[in-house]
Amino acid sequence: MSEPHGPLRSYGRLKSRPIKPRQAALMDTLLPQIRAPAEPFDPRALEPDAAEVWIEIGFGGGEHMAAQAARRPDVLVIGAEPFLNGVASAVRHLDEQGLSNVRIHDGDARALLERLPEGSVDRVFILFPDPWPKARHHKRRLIQPDAIEALARVLKPGGRLRFASDWADYVDWTLERFLASPHFAWPAERPDDWRRAPADHVTTRYEEKRLGDCAPVFLDFVRR
């Protein structure tokens, strides 16, 4: 991610349907208050008393992000999502639950990672990202060597990263690339370690749709 790249782009539509009036109002009022800074920043400056800093990349409708933030009010959660409908849904969840420990980057996650200091993040979630199943589209997948390098840069030693997918090929793709990285370890010891949802996982409506070709797989990596 530190290497030069073309204009930041999230493939697909940035808006798929009209945003509901209440959500649109929150986009104008709440979002500017909780938007992550547009310049390089230290997350600890946003919440000096936060016990940890977590990031969710591609938070979809924000259900998981909001639930984790509600469970751990002592943690600062930063979510990245380029799709406006997802951001609109997320700000509604945050408003309804009165959550103040969340910041949102409404754009490409690469730009967010580039603005964070080295070793400033304790945990990362990448849950059910777009699998781009056609071989000619694999280059659009989020999990690429440069993304893994960027994630390794911002994660603290011992920091954790959870990847989940219900597409078998994307699971294999991800595992192969993380195992090839010198920065991450995969401490799984038995099939249940990846076949069963972790105790702290929050199931979302998207996950329940089972749109993939396999049961959900959870890969928890540790920053060396």
Residue 94 near residue 34 (C-beta atoms within 8 A): yes
Residue 105 near residue 76 (C-beta atoms within 8 A): no
| Residues 40/11/167/184 CA torsion (nearest 10 deg) | -20
Both structure tokens of 105: 């980057």
Supply the residues annotated as catalytic.
130
Both structure tokens of 167: 């597409």
| Residues 110/114/150/2 CA torsion (nearest 10 deg) | 100
Q: Is 30 helix (H, G, I), strand (E, B) or coil?
A: coil
Cα separation of 148 and 184, whole Å?
9
